[in-house]
Chain A
């Protein structure tokens, strides 16, 4: 990452949305590049490679998924997708095609900025030389990956091997959404990617062990129809 503040490429066809997002991003200290169409986005990104892309899937000139695929062919920077409510399949497809995260409209700028921060942090860890931290702390939850121990407010919690493996996968991408498919593949192996209910049951068990109120989770967040996310702030 350059010493300058990160450059964000905002791809959005609706001018009003672009305007207020631009203002919010600028005031949060990011440098901004804008594109209203898919072709323009590809062109802008090629001219000045951005540090992060915010991409609306509904573009007038070409399919957002196509823009994503073409960007991903050469761009390593995180890409955050903006989508409408009832488009799970699109979200999942985008995540499978290499998007890092997504936001469903309507969203608040606060949420967007949090996602940007998580994505940039994650990108820095992968790209940078610093080794992944072995401990992870959020709220009362503390996870020591090296010692394979997990603590909550009430003390140490015993996790089964699979639960721990699941937890580890989530910690490695903390703050980032992980699809069902990705989690199943990481934890159970590539044969089990369709058995989503396995994941749901293990997630429920983890919540019962780690959350104060499992029905209103603070750490292990559900992304409806898409996957799970470990809260990062």
Chain B
């Protein structure tokens, strides 16, 4: 809206809209006023330019025009194959939505946005296909003629006498990112037509002949220009809004239109839409439920259809309950600060208007500060064949009861009369009967009772008795008043009763929703929760209920209603899938996938769509009422939130369990480490103290005890390290280290094992500092050195070297032993991998050392690999990334290692 002060919510909404636009594909509409103005031609020319600029352009569907200029423009553009749909003996060619979604081009061309798809397609309208494409992030270009715009429908029908069946909701037009007006003068268009340059579909040929009349074309052109101008105005407003501050602020307008089952109502709704867009105002569409039992299902359906139309045109819709239409409307209008109420001129007969007044009169009279706009409501022929449904009026049983009541009244009256009571009291007996019938049986029987009562009174109680003749003409007045009061009583009582029913129903719904809210919030455990929700929904909607939930694997599973007919139809599962993915309502009673046997609403939670809820009413048509649908959607969101809450409780529980398991593991590890290390320390210590004063022949044994217990201690360390690395409990303590020093520590740790080996260390003096966890890197080197010493003979050479290669530091540990078995260069780093090679000392390792090496190096973001040297022996290479430059050392006298 153009003239409203931007509040934070609005700004947020705009940001969100922009963000969601960023993800959505862009829609560009080539817009014209009649076939033949050159929309497709313009679209294809632009597409060719785009293709040359390097965009991936694919033709989704373009009407076969049979004109060489247009056909030539298709050259070089990739085209999707069309889908062939058999329909009543002919084959219809349709745009293939699934192929387009699978192909995912950057830009897709789809001609004729307003096209109605062949029955059996996923959506009934092509614009719904386009919407899905945009949601999938594909840019779409399309064409549209002005006569297809829903809100202009009646105007165009008036101008051209052609009723356009393929209509496009205005919201789709508003969704477009760009609208390009394609315009030629009517004269030129008519010349083109004469020259056979205009493509006209065969089936529309006759209808279009009258269409291409110059006065029509001028009018249509004006409409299209005006539409484009509106659009431009809106863009300008939006831009001004963005720049905010100094824009002029107006108080906002809010329109309200009253929707009735009247066939003219749709027209009034469209007129309101036009009015609201020219005012830049929001609008409400409301229907008033007066609790009138004469309202047949057909009328209710008509009202619902009109409300749906309003919703499609962008209105906020509501159904109000109230006896007095005008009063209810005004009360609601005041509560919403409505500035204008739009109503149609009624076609009520003059006498009735004069006698009872019309809603319009009442609105004008009591409207006060609210403007009332009266729109012409004539012109459309009523489409409803019969306003009153026979079933309601002619329930003969009710009439039989009514008759019984009259007979009883007559008997009592006769007794009273016999007892000498005044005639006035006799009349009262009949009034009592009318009131009773009206309250119990409704209006029809009550009216009948009123009439019959008058007749019975005349026949039995007015002299001359047992004839309809009357002796005193004054009785005519009695009869008239009696009939009038009888009718009034029946009217009032039955109205009161049906209002009571309506409000009871409303109350029941509210109570049901409340009960569901309460029950769902108290429950835990998805299964139980779903079953309760299913039961409640069945009760509220008197329907079969199915519920699909997204599993962890991402697939959809049926959780409720396995035994229903809905679950039996395979198509429903597909619809549920679509609903879940797109987060939109679909299925029976909607325009999307209407061949499903149930209506599906998405279960939209706060984070994501958790599944889909399908409902198939036992009485059909029940979901055409927007109120019911809203109730269903509220239920769905309640269920979704409950499921989400349940899941988050479960998550919290699981993470609590994980924490506890982690604590248990840690305490287990530390106790194991203590219990294993202490005796090992004792053994090593005791043996070493014996060694101090042992005789020569015992020294070797004692030394073995010392060595082996230390080795065992290292094995325990390795096991503990592996467990910690596995659980992710090790946090790197990175510091800048001198590699030489770390190597020195590793060499010192394996000094005894390596005493007979020829150790060579080649680290360049300018080798940079490394940001590593020295404790862990030492562990890696110790394991590699131990490994090397075990598999090589004494006196063999082991070489540690380091170099900078590119942005990485490479540390190599090489030996001249038997090397790594060919084929297991990678496997040797697996946990508990034990090669077939037996070390010269006759032992095989447990296969942990190298696995730990890999885990540590990878924790540093590096790699470790093993290879055989050409000269024989194994070579292990550690590659560590050096992304950060090493810190500078501020001392001129000191030889500073060069940084990487």
Contacts and interface: CB of A to CB of B under 8 A. Distances in A.
Interface of A: 14, 16-17, 20-21, 23-24, 27, 58, 84-86, 88, 105-110, 160-163, 196-198, 200-205, 207-208, 213-217, 221-222, 224-225
A139 B262 CA distance: 114
Contact of B738 (A21, A86, A200): A200
B889 A198 contact: yes
Contacts of B693: 27
Interface in B132-156: none
Contact of A222 (B673, B741, B896): B741
Given A106-B685, A106-B713, A160-B891, A217 B769 contact: no
Nearest to B800: A215
A227 to B, nearest CB: 12
Interface string B726-740: 000000000111101
B580 interface: no
Nearest to B683: A106
Contacts of A205: 894-895
B506 interface: no
A16 B190 CA distance: 113
Interface in B671-713: 673-674, 677-682, 684-686, 688-689, 691-693, 706, 709-710, 713
A108 B491 CA distance: 110
A16 B775 contact: no
A21 B684 CA distance: 11
Contact of A216 (B677, B679, B717, B744): B744
Minimum-distance CB pairs A-B, first 10: A108-B688, A197-B736, A109-B689, A215-B761, A24-B689, A106-B681, A160-B893, A20-B686, A106-B684, A105-B681
B774 interface: yes
A27 B889 CA distance: 49
Contact of A108 (B706, B737, B745, B897): B706
Contacts of B761: 213, 215-216
A196 B771 CA distance: 12
B765 A208 contact: yes
B763 interface: yes
Contact of B763 (A27, A162, A215): A215
A81 to B, nearest CB: 14
A58 B677 CA distance: 13
Contacts of A221: 748
B61 to A, nearest CB: 68
Given A200-B736, A216-B759, A216-B761, A109 B685 contact: yes
Given A213-B761, A225-B775, A17 B678 contact: yes
B765 A106 contact: no
A120 B663 CA distance: 43
B767 to A, nearest CB: 10
B687 to A, nearest CB: 9
B778 interface: yes
Given A110-B692, A162-B891, A222-B744, 14 more contacts: A16-B679, A16-B686, A17-B681, A17-B685, A20-B686, A108-B691, A109-B688, A109-B689, A110-B688, A162-B893, A200-B738, A216-B748, A217-B744, A224-B778
Contacts of A162: 891, 893-894
B677 A204 contact: no
A107 B677 contact: no
A84 B677 contact: yes
A224 B744 contact: no
B286 interface: no
B692 A109 contact: yes
B686 A201 contact: no
A198 B738 CA distance: 10
B667 to A, nearest CB: 15
Nearest to B887: A197
A194 B298 CA distance: 85
B747 interface: yes
Contacts of A202: 891, 894
B743 interface: yes
Contacts of B748: 216, 221-222
A134 B819 CA distance: 53
A161 B894 contact: no
Interface string B875-894: 00000000000010101011
Given A197-B887, A203-B741, A204-B740, A108 B893 contact: no
Contacts of A203: 738, 741
B105 to A, nearest CB: 55
Interface string B767-791: 0010000110010000000000000
A225 B776 CA distance: 11
A141 to B, nearest CB: 17
Contacts of B897: 201, 204
Given A17-B681, A106-B710, A196-B735, A201 B896 contact: yes
A20 B887 contact: no
A106 B709 contact: yes
A176 to B, nearest CB: 18
5 contacts: A107-B684, A110-B692, A196-B736, A215-B761, A225-B775
A197 B769 contact: yes
Contacts of B744: 214-217, 222
B719 to A, nearest CB: 13
A197 B684 contact: no
A220 B553 CA distance: 59
A84 B684 CA distance: 14
Contacts of A88: 775
A200 B894 CA distance: 12
Contacts of A105: 677-678, 681
Given A214-B744, A216-B761, A20 B894 contact: no
By CB atoms of chain A within 10 A, which of B685, B748, B775 has the most? Answer: B685
B788 to A, nearest CB: 15
B468 to A, nearest CB: 116
Nearest to B736: A197
Nearest to A213: B761
Nearest to B886: A197
A110 B763 CA distance: 32
A53 to B, nearest CB: 18
B894 A224 contact: no
Contact of B682 (A17, A24, A222): A17
Nearest to A223: B745
A1 to B, nearest CB: 24
A162 B889 CA distance: 13
A16 B680 CA distance: 11
Contact of B685 (A21, A84, A197, A204): A21
Interface string B420-458: 000000000000000000000000000000000000000
A53 B686 CA distance: 20
Contacts of B713: 106
Nearest to A58: B674
Contact of A215 (B677, B747, B769): B747
A216 B678 contact: no
B692 A222 contact: no
A204 B744 CA distance: 11
A34 B323 CA distance: 100
Contacts of B738: 200-201, 203-204
A197 B686 CA distance: 38
Contact of B745 (A161, A198, A224): A224
A24 to B, nearest CB: 4
A213 to B, nearest CB: 7
B763 A20 contact: no
Contacts of A215: 740, 743-744, 747, 761, 763, 800
